A and B are shown apart, each in its own frame.
Chain A
Amino acid sequence: MAFSPRRDAVLAAVAVAAITVCSTIGLYRAARRVYVEEAREELLRRARVAAAFVDGDLHRTFVSPAQQEGAEYTRAVAPLRKMMASDPEIRFLYTVALVEDQPHFILDATPPGDADQDGVEDHSRIMDRYEDPDNDMLVALREGRAMVMREPQADQWGEVLSAYAPIRDRSGNLVGIVGVDLTAQRYADHLNAMRFAALMTLLPAAVLSILAGAFVFIHQRRRAEHVKEQEEARAAVEEALARFEDLVDNSPMVAVQGLDRQGTIRRWNRASTVLYGYRADEVIGQRIQDVVLAPEDVTAFDRVLDEIWTTGRPTTPREWPVRTRDGQVHWVYSTIVPVVSRGAVDEAYCMDVDISDRKRHETELAAYAAALEKSQAVAESATRAKSAFLASMSHEIRTPMTAILGFADVLLADRNVNGTLVEQAESLQAIRRNGEYLLELIDDILDLSKIEAEKLDIERIAFSPAHVLADVASLMKVRTDAKNLALSVEYAGPIPETIQSDPLRFRQILINLVGNAIKFTATGSVRLVGQVVPRPDRFPLLQVDVIDTGIGLTPQEISNLFQPFNQADSSTTRKYGGSGLGLVISRRLAAMLGGDIAIHSMPGQGSTFSVTVEAGDLAGVPLREMPPDTTAAAAPAFDATTADNVELNCRILLAEDGPDNRRLIAFLLEKAGAEVTVAENGQLAFDAARAAIAHGAPFDMVLMDMQMPVMDGYEATRQLRAEGYAGPIVALTAHAMTDDRQKCLDAGCDDYLTKPIHRARMLHTIASYLSSVQPRPTPTAAGCPGDDSQTARRR
């Protein structure tokens, strides 16, 4: 409500004034009424007294103004005159009787003359007509009742107050009335004094009103100031509260939740919604423990809450893992502050700052630190390993060097003492052998150091894995033959025609593994089993298992196997030799080719070394079912004795760039009866064949080496066919694979022969294409040992 001290003061003053004026007027009126009543009573009493002094019977006798001077009159009026003389307030004292229903004076105590100087005779005479009688007089005359005027009446003789009392004769009959007129002056003066006194009382009332107004004004003004202060204070509090709420609600960094004693959420600011993903209306009324905490953290949180209610102090900030609505785990740095209200702690504010990023950085930092520590450890370990490697390397190098120098000394001494040739040869062999070992060792070290330094280049080109396996088997067959071991190549399932890898490195790995297998196998076999291992979402692997029936390995030995210079044990080293570097290199190479080497072995039960390399993208590469033992199958046995049975009566063009084979093949063909023309490359062969055709004498047969300079055999064959040559063309190739055969046939060849040249097979193959050939009997066949018997003796 609006305070207006001025208005209130005016109201108060008016109210006080009104009350005092009203009460004064009331008092005045009451006093005046009492006074008037008393005055009237007094007047009426005087009128009755005067009426009692008048003799009614006598009074009736006065009927004519002539009786005015009579004694009767004088006697009758005497009491009235006496009364009038004794009372100065009586102005007129007289009697009136009705004559013909009109009031007429009878007696009059008023002395003659004009006392009031109004120009009219005061004294009335008998039977003077009473002009303008008032109503009271008429009632008194007609009804015989005493009457008095209510209020003074002004007439021509001034202000008077009149009373009338009846006059009766002895019989009680009404004969007239006594009229007493009092001068109203005293009465009026009295009333004026009373009015004055009343007015005088209004003066302090006015002062009182002013004082009251002033008092109210001051009081109200003070009260208004007080209220204003209170309102200002309340507004300040409200503004502060609003600022606080605004701060809480809109603080972007700090998620604030108001909690009661059980942890029930009462407040939930916007940052809480941002952090936890719940809207305020979704979580208010639920326990915060159930909303954001993992079950395992609830006990700890409850303990913290209890602590707050007990101590009433904020908690030490700590980190909590919390769950958000979408199930993510965040870390918050959180403190809970109790709110003291009226001496009790019943609510608390939980304030969270999201520190997930910091936490993640800490974790990453810790991971980096761990990784750093680990890499340091690895580096130290590598340094130690290198030192150990150098130590054993120097030992490995010193041993053969000592032997070389020692045998050189022996040779020098032999020269002095003329040692035998055989002894000298033995020393030289030992020097050579040790020198070779050193070279191999240095080769391996170079390989290894290049791998370690990551300077080894790896190719990725398409090549035939079956070729490489066949090549390796053919290369290692000498050694398996020397130890009387079986060596075979098999395939578990179809094999891609080509894979994308490094053929030289793949071959190097296989040679090492097969070499090891042979080295550690005394009897039995070494098998190579190739297969493709598909992998989900990645290129498939090509796996080759090298399976031997050798001494096998213990798990401990396997774990040491890939450490440089850690052969199974030193006795193994003595027995089998080797630095052990080959396996280390092989495994590194396999890793560089996207694969690995795995070992399955038991002592005494042989070993399987499985090498894998990434085969690359095989989409569109045809798969081939491979027959087992390609190398072995490539040389079907021929009866050597049949070779001499072949007679070739024909003209053959031999295209072969190698002089040795050219000579040998030409000799064999000529010996069988053929006429041979030789050509050193494809171009010359093509020219010769075309010339023969032009002369109308084409060759009966062309033997075509495939790998030749200038123009190779494939191209020469194609051109010959294009030229129209229809005779048989037999390819000569150093490769033994079926797809090589296919390549030759595609180029236009009829058949193919593999090198080395097998005499009988060659002649039979050629003969099969020449219808004119006839076997001829050979009497010398029985007496001459064949190729196979010779080979058998050598083995």
Chain B
Amino acid sequence: MINHPVYSRLAVDPDLGDLVDLFVQEMPDRVHHLEAQARSCDWEQLARTAHQLKGAAGSYGFDDITPFAAQLEAAARGGRQEQHILMALEQLLDICRRVRSGPAKDDEMIHPPEAAGTRAAD
């Protein structure tokens, strides 16, 4: 599991830095929207939001978000497997909550304690 802060590769772009910052600042709102749509079981809207996020995140330099958004979009469009959708949503929200402004800092990588159980990072 990806368990470290997520930075945009475009954060250092002199033209786009501010836009990336804005994108990061608005992230809690997006998370809120996604959660609200999931709570109301509005899968169609959820899929649409995920679709937009899929296209936008990469554009803002957050490439790691794209596959998770794509996964949620696919799950939500199926419309049946609620467990799948919620799991995909949770994975997407997890990475979304970890987006940070500014360039990446290597020393911030956090490694989990191995004592936690049978499962390695997957």
By a beta-carbon cutoff of 8 Å, the part of chain A in contact with chain B is 396, 399-400, 402-403, 407, 422, 425-426, 429-430, 432-434, 436-437, 439-440, 442-443, 446-447, 457, 471, 474-478, 504, 507, 515, 519, 573-578, 657-661, 663-665, 667-668, 671, 707, 709, 732, 734, 755-757, 759, 780, 784-785, 787, 790-791, 793-794
Which residues of chain B in 29-87 are interfacial with respect to chain A, using CB atoms and an 8 Å cutoff? 48, 51-61, 63-64, 66-67, 70-71, 74-75, 78, 80-81, 83-84, 87
Contacts of B119 in A (CB 8 A): 400, 433-434, 437, 577-578
Complex Cα distance, B48 from A443, in Å, reads 24
Total contacts A-B at CB 8 Å:
155
Contacts of A430 in B (CB 8 A): 112-113, 115-117
- On whether the beta carbons of B9 and A794 are closer than 8 Å, the reply is yes
Chain A interface main SS type: helix
Closest A-B pairs by Cβ, 7 of them? A756-B58, A658-B52, A755-B55, A660-B56, A577-B119, A757-B59, A430-B116
Asked if A433 meets B67 with Cβ closer than 8 Å, knowing A446-B83, A576-B120, the reply is no
Given contact pairs A577-B118, A578-B122, a sample of 18 additional A-B residue pairs in the complex whose CB atoms are under 8 Å apart: A396-B118, A425-B110, A426-B113, A430-B112, A433-B1, A437-B119, A442-B83, A475-B67, A504-B78, A574-B118, A577-B120, A658-B56, A661-B59, A664-B16, A664-B19, A756-B57, A787-B61, A794-B7
Contacts of A793 in B (CB 8 A): 104
CB<8 Å pairs between A and B, sample of 20 = A396-B118, A426-B113, A429-B3, A434-B119, A457-B80, A474-B66, A474-B67, A477-B67, A515-B122, A658-B51, A664-B23, A665-B59, A667-B19, A668-B15, A732-B55, A734-B51, A755-B56, A787-B10, A790-B10, A791-B9
Partner of A504, one of B10, B81, B118: B81
- On whether the beta carbons of A434 and B116 are closer than 8 Å, the reply is yes
By a beta-carbon cutoff of 8 Å, the part of chain B in contact with chain A is 1, 3, 7, 9-10, 12-16, 19, 22-23, 26, 48, 51-61, 63-64, 66-67, 70-71, 74-75, 78, 80-81, 83-84, 87, 90-91, 94, 104, 110, 112-113, 115-120, 122
Q: Kindly provide the distance from the CB of B12 to the nearest chain A CB, expressed in whole angstroms.
A: 6
Q: Kindly provide the distance from the CB of B121 to the nearest chain A CB, expressed in whole angstroms.
A: 8
B18 to chain A: closest residue by CB: A667
Complex Cα distance, B83 from A399, in Å, reads 22
- On whether the beta carbons of B59 and A436 are closer than 8 Å, the reply is no
Q: Kindly provide the distance from the CB of B106 to the nearest chain A CB, expressed in whole angstroms.
A: 10
Complex Cα distance, B52 from A396, in Å, reads 37
Partner of A399, one of B10, B59, B118: B118
A430 to chain B: closest residue by CB: B116
Partner of B117, one of A434, A440, A658: A434
Asked if A707 meets B51 with Cβ closer than 8 Å, knowing A446-B83, A576-B120, A577-B120, the reply is yes
Complex Cα distance, B61 from A755, in Å, reads 12
- On whether the beta carbons of A403 and B58 are closer than 8 Å, the reply is no
Q: Kindly provide the distance from the CB of B50 to the nearest chain A CB, expressed in whole angstroms.
A: 11
Complex Cα distance, B63 from A507, in Å, reads 21
- On whether the beta carbons of A661 and B67 are closer than 8 Å, the reply is no
Contacts of A573 in B (CB 8 A): 118
Q: Kindly provide the distance from the CB of B89 to the nearest chain A CB, expressed in whole angstroms.
A: 11
Q: Kindly provide the distance from the CB of A698 to the nearest chain B CB, expressed in whole angstroms.
A: 27
- On whether the beta carbons of A757 and B19 are closer than 8 Å, the reply is no
Complex Cα distance, B55 from A479, in Å, reads 19
Complex Cα distance, B75 from A447, in Å, reads 14
- On whether the beta carbons of A756 and B118 are closer than 8 Å, the reply is no
Q: Kindly provide the distance from the CB of B64 to the nearest chain A CB, expressed in whole angstroms.
A: 6
Contacts of B87 in A (CB 8 A): 439-440, 443
B1 to chain A: closest residue by CB: A433
Asked if A709 meets B48 with Cβ closer than 8 Å, knowing A433-B119, A436-B1, the reply is yes
Partner of A403, one of B61, B71, B116: B116
Asked if A794 meets B104 with Cβ closer than 8 Å, knowing A403-B116, A664-B60, A785-B12, the reply is yes
Asked if A664 meets B56 with Cβ closer than 8 Å, knowing A429-B3, A429-B110, A578-B122, the reply is yes
Asked if A755 meets B63 with Cβ closer than 8 Å, knowing A429-B3, A436-B1, A577-B120, the reply is no
B77 to chain A: closest residue by CB: A504
Q: Kindly provide the distance from the CB of B77 to the nearest chain A CB, expressed in whole angstroms.
A: 8
Complex Cα distance, B57 from A616, in Å, reads 37
Asked if A734 meets B110 with Cβ closer than 8 Å, knowing A440-B87, A664-B60, the reply is no
Partner of B120, one of A400, A457, A575, A663: A575
Complex Cα distance, B54 from A289, in Å, reads 84
Partner of A400, one of B61, B64, B94, B117: B117
Q: Kindly provide the distance from the CB of B54 to the nearest chain A CB, expressed in whole angstroms.
A: 6
Complex Cα distance, B74 from A437, in Å, reads 21
A396 to chain B: closest residue by CB: B118
Contacts of B12 in A (CB 8 A): 785, 790
- On whether the beta carbons of B59 and A504 are closer than 8 Å, the reply is no
Complex Cα distance, B58 from A446, in Å, reads 33
A402 to chain B: closest residue by CB: B117
Contacts of A665 in B (CB 8 A): 59
Complex Cα distance, B22 from A447, in Å, reads 40
A707 to chain B: closest residue by CB: B51
Complex Cα distance, B62 from A755, in Å, reads 12
- On whether the beta carbons of B56 and A734 are closer than 8 Å, the reply is no
Complex Cα distance, B43 from A165, in Å, reads 183
Q: Kindly provide the distance from the CB of B98 to the nearest chain A CB, expressed in whole angstroms.
A: 11
- On whether the beta carbons of B3 and A478 are closer than 8 Å, the reply is no
Partner of B59, one of A433, A447, A476, A756: A756
- On whether the beta carbons of A755 and B67 are closer than 8 Å, the reply is no
- On whether the beta carbons of B55 and A756 are closer than 8 Å, the reply is yes
Partner of A658, one of B19, B55, B74: B55
- On whether the beta carbons of A664 and B64 are closer than 8 Å, the reply is no
Partner of A475, one of B51, B70, B113: B70
Complex Cα distance, B94 from A577, in Å, reads 21
Contacts of A757 in B (CB 8 A): 55, 58-59
Contacts of A667 in B (CB 8 A): 15-16, 19
